[in-house]
A and B are shown apart, each in its own frame.
Chain A
Amino acid sequence: MSHAPALEHRYRRLLACYPAEHRRTYAEEMIGVLLASAADGQRRPSLRESIDLIAGAAKVRLRRVLAGSPDPGWRDALAVTSLLAPFLLAILLLGQDLGWMASLLWPSGMGSAGAFRPIWPALVLLAPVALALIRLRWVAAATTAALMTGITVRAAMGQQLIEPRFAAYLVLLGVEVAALATSDGPRRGLQLISAKAVLLALPWLAVAAYAAGIIPGHYPVPLILAEIFIAALALAALPALASPRGRRILVLLAGIPGSAFIVSLLTFAQVDFYSLGFAASQVALYLPPAILAGLAVIAIRRSARAPLARS
């Protein structure tokens, strides 16, 4: 039975839809079976074969997600992300939008609850991490999903869904829900970041931050601790970013600044964002992170496919 080399190449392209772990185990065997089943002189996969392979890949991926076991590399990256995403969200809020987020998280009656009012929304958003750390990962995922739904409903009621910053928060919360649901969560994330490195970095960072005036003396204590912890996490995580896992974490977290950056470019390009219709504004907000995520996944897939092509 003869077949063109192009046919094998096209089958391999379809097999790229499968998780890397599955490809490592079955790809060569599947190629053998596909070529043995191919008609004489066949040059490309038939429509039925293509649909069958894509559906098979979807089944395999879905089963791994439901079993909480995507590729180990992604699973670890998601575990670290489940730890970092809430802190990134809290940093964004501490920077500018605490009051605004408070109004979304709680009815206006909460109003002025004193000096601590600006901090509690950040603490609420960090609560899932605490839940996951005490082995309540699914409760944490459900809580985050509930927070996401709650602020989306309130933002919709207040006509704030077209706020670019809201889109960034929503994307980040979505990443957090997915990371909590499909990985081993922040406990595993902490192991990967290395708690020892964090502890070693803490005193040095605290002294340096205080000397540089980064931590103003009038800040409430919880905020100082939060800043130190976040900085330490970032420092300890730096070497990890040079690894495949680190790149995956960057991919998972890059949608947010990427989204904000592209939206700001639209503004510079004299696009009056707020004069867009609702549908157009939603596309402008959510298309950039979707494209970024898509490009990143393609880039990672290409790098993951390279060893397969050599074998």
Chain B
Amino acid sequence: MSKQAMQEPTFLILTALAAGPQHGYGIMTDVARISGSRVALRAGTLYAALDRLRTESLVDVEREEVVDGRLRRYYQLTAGGTQALTGEVARLQANAAVAASRLAKLGVAERPGGATAARLAGGAA
């Protein structure tokens, strides 16, 4: 099992679709929300990723509709996509658990807000 780590845009797109089928613009806004506006997906990146994810059968089209004369497709996770996202979540959690336990040994703990604090006397930030 030497599967490569998922790239962040892919992870965020699959995470957005885990909430249910969404169209392209909906995915973009949801990704911005999930990432706290840190990741701003643009159309070129989004559709290159969707094209690849469809080729890899991780995502498919749930339905199409025409709004204001323009085609709008709703994308959804496939069973393979759900499995891939589950695997990636497990991988990230395992890595995070190892990192957290090693930081704890160093005396650095994570605050509830997500920021870290050095507890070592005179410890480096």
Contact = CB atoms under 8 A, between A and B. Distances in A.
A53 B45 CA distance: 7
B70 A56 contact: no
A56 B43 contact: yes
Given A29-B72, A32-B70, A32-B72, A53 B52 contact: no
Contact of A57 (B28, B44, B70): B44
A40 to B, nearest CB: 16
Interface residues of B, number: 19
Interface string A26-61: 101111111011000000000011001111110110
Interface residues on A, range: 20 to 34
A33 B48 contact: no
B47 A30 contact: yes
Contacts of A26: 47, 50-51
Rank and list the top 8 A-B pairs by shortest CB-CB distance, nearest first: A56-B44, A52-B44, A52-B42, A32-B70, A53-B44, A56-B48, A33-B24, A59-B48
A117 interface: no
A33 B46 contact: yes
A60 B70 CA distance: 23
B51 A60 contact: yes
A277 B68 CA distance: 61
B42 A49 contact: yes
A49 to B, nearest CB: 6
* Max chain B Cβ within 10 angstroms of own Cβ: one of A34, A48, A56: A56
A54 B44 CA distance: 7
A30 B67 CA distance: 13
A57 B47 CA distance: 9
Contacts of B43: 30, 33-34, 37, 49, 52-53, 56
* Interface hub of A26, A31, A55, A60 (most chain B Cβ within 10 A): A26
12 contacts: A28-B70, A32-B67, A32-B71, A37-B28, A37-B43, A53-B44, A55-B45, A56-B44, A56-B48, A57-B44, A60-B48, A63-B52
Contacts of A32: 24-25, 67, 70-72
Contacts of B52: 63
Contacts of B71: 28-29, 32
Interface of A: 22, 25-26, 28-34, 36-37, 48-49, 52-57, 59-60, 63
Interface in B34-50: 42-48, 50
B44 A36 contact: no
Interface of B: 24-25, 28, 42-48, 50-52, 55, 67, 70-73
A22 B52 CA distance: 11
B24 to A, nearest CB: 4
B51 A33 contact: no
Contacts of A63: 51-52, 55
| Chain A at the B interface: SS class | helix
B80 to A, nearest CB: 18
Given A30-B43, A53-B44, A22 B72 contact: no
Given A32-B70, A63-B52, A56 B25 contact: no
A11 to B, nearest CB: 9
Contacts of B50: 26
A266 to B, nearest CB: 41
Given A28-B70, A63-B52, A33 B44 contact: no
A49 B28 CA distance: 14
A55 B44 contact: yes
A29 B42 contact: no
Given A22-B51, A32-B24, A49-B44, 20 more contacts: A25-B51, A26-B51, A28-B70, A28-B71, A29-B72, A32-B67, A33-B25, A33-B46, A33-B47, A48-B42, A52-B42, A52-B45, A55-B44, A56-B47, A56-B48, A57-B44, A60-B48, A60-B51, A63-B51, A63-B55
A32 B43 CA distance: 10
